[in-house]
Amino acid sequence: MRNILFLFLFILSCTLISSITPDNSGSSEKLTPAELAGKKIYTEGIGSSDVKITANMSGVKVPATVMKCINCHKADGTGNPEGGISPSNVTWAYLTRSYGGKRISGEKYPAYTEQTLRKVITTGIDPAGNKLHNAMPTYNMTREDLNNLVAYMKVLGKAGDVGLTKSTIVIGIALNSEQNQPNSKNEAIKKMVQAYCNTVNENGGIYNRTLKPSFFSTSEQFEEKKYFMVTGFGEKEILGENNTTPSLFLCSNELTGSGLNNRNAFYVYPSLTAQNQALVDFSKENELLKKKGEVTIVYTNDNDRKAFAKTLSNYYLAKNNVLPTLLALDSDNIQELALTKQIHSNSLVFYVGSTQLGNQFLKELDNIGKTPYILTSGSISGVDLFNMPKAFQKKVFISYPTWITERSSASIRLYQSLNRENKLLSNWKNSQLNIMSMLMTLEECLKRVGSDLTQDKLIGSFEGLYEFSTGLAPPVTYNLNKRAGSSSVYIASFDPIANQLKLVSTINCSEK
């Protein structure tokens, strides 16, 4: 009984939602007769034969006109994750993704084909033979109706019309909303985005469409429906596994998103994990570090860094057959940790933690006359190289995803002219250059698609970039299996004579 009531509420909630969801399924003029007939089934439950389509739910037979696909799977096929059971994303791109999918029960299934799609609609059995949850009705319809429905489902949601009109392309720009984040940073980014988009638009836009930036904060629930594509910044990856909006961000943080496995998400730099692991590769190739004895990983005990420390430890083990000692650092145990016997002047310490604690830790080590080699990733950790004890000056190595030599004078001149004409803010220049570089990449990909733009084609266009350079970041290459554009991690140390950082090595980390 409870079950049936629940199903009823579920169907009701789907219906309510579908009635307020705008139709994003693309303009009908472009559809073939078969697709149009399929659309009528999907959106109205009406087929083209005299035999009415029926839906069967938990043994109850009803006309399909009251069990329309659109009620549960939405107009664009992305499904409706509200409520207990979530109606699947049924867009063709999603159903046929090469690695298949997973049921709520955890059972995996391979990518759909037209044949298995017909089967699941009529029998509720997926390509692996799993029975779907009974919240998905099974349907009785003629072969012709079924073919039409499948024809429509192949174009459903692919229209790419989200955030796209004949004259505009809406780009969502993610801005960080961390409490401690100074607002001036977001202001600097916004000004740069406006300036860049204005320049593109004044020069005729992209095949007569203008770029329309739309800013949102990463603390808001991300609304996929609004943007043709997204870029920007964020502590957390905003794209979950089911997201279909093409996106370009700086680097993947596998801990909070779907990592490099989301077909729609592209990154400029290697993932945070790779930036960390490059330090291990560096320690193996560097003459100074090669033969060092004991290895520890010192991490500050917040969730993310703890997880990074753990993966780093596994990576070290895989590469060296030695398991490093993991030590958790907090403001109360700095002295105690510095005294640990595995840490001495000839040992390696991988540091995964905040800059502040890192500096205190180095001072404490210095006080007791220990100067181990320190390796740390500038993207998730840090030590202040300009204010560290002298004894450490030649013993600290930091990894970065880019280096000053990747900047070309032409691109810097472009920045300067944007600056002159738009009075950009003078601070947060690195962030300004990063967003500028991402916008240049997006512009290039959009131009390569041409006037017949769709989200799917934009993704294909990304996948065609080979050693593409904006002159502001390392060149990027994407293909079917590569979502991190650059594979280079730069290892730097402090040069006390020049009082600046110097490049020691470039590590090639080939991620998928």
Task: By CB under 6 A, name the one of 93, 121, 206, 433 that touches ligand HEC.
Answer: 121
Q: Which of 132, 289, 307, 326 binds ligand HEC (CB under 6 A)?
A: 132
389's tokens: 């004890």
* Nearest-CB residue for ligand HEC: 69
AA identity, residue 244: T
Q: How many residues does the chain have?
A: 512
List of residues 6+ apart from 278 with CB closer than 8 A: 270, 377, 399, 489, 491, 507, 509
Query: What gap in Å lies between CA 339 and CA 40, rounded to an integer?
Result: 73
Token pair of 238, please?
């905003």
Looking at the Cβ atoms of 130 and 419, the one nearer to ligand HEC is 130
Residue 223 CB, nearest approach to ligand HEC (Å): 22
128 touches ligand HEC by CB under 6 A? no
CB of 364 to ligand HEC, least distance (A): 54
What are the CA-CA distances from residue 78 to residues 19, 81, 347, 409 (Å)?
15, 9, 52, 44
Q: Which is nearer to ligand HEC, 100 or 460 (CB)?
A: 100
Exposure of 390 by Cβ count < 10 A (0-12 exposed, 13-18 middle, 19+ buried)? exposed
Looking at 136-144, 227-235, 353-361, 495-503, which segment touches ligand HEC (CB under 6 A)?
Answer: 136-144
Does position 211 bind ligand HEC by CB under 6 A? no
Per rule CB under 6 A, is residue 31 in the interface with ligand HEC?
no
Binding part of the chain for ligand HEC, among 117-125, 221-229, 292-300, 503-511 by CB under 6 A, reads 117-125
Least Cβ distance, residue 142 to ligand HEC (angstroms): 13
**Residue 156 makes contact with ligand HEC by CB under 6 A:** no
106 vs 369 by CB, closer to ligand HEC: 106
CA 356 to each of CA 36, 302, 337, 359, 477: distance values in angstroms, whole numbers, following the listed order: 62, 14, 16, 5, 36
How many angstroms separate the Cα of 114 from the Cα of each of 1, 117, 121, 148, 189? 36, 5, 11, 11, 45
Q: Are 416 and 432 in contact (CB under 8 A)?
A: no
Q: Is-contact 232 174, C-beta < 8 A? A: yes
Tokens of 119: 């089967």
Q: Which is nearer to ligand HEC, 243 or 275 (CB)?
A: 243
Q: What is the x/- site pattern for ligand HEC, positions 67-106, by CB under 6 A? A: x-x-xxx-----------x-xx-x----------x-xx--
- Using CB under 6 A as the binding rule, whether residue 139 contacts ligand HEC is answered as yes
> Binding-site residue total for ligand HEC (CB under 6 A)?
25
Contacts with ligand HEC by CB under 6 A lie at 11, 14, 67, 69, 71-73, 85, 87-88, 90, 101, 103-104, 117, 120-121, 126, 132-133, 135-137, 139, 149
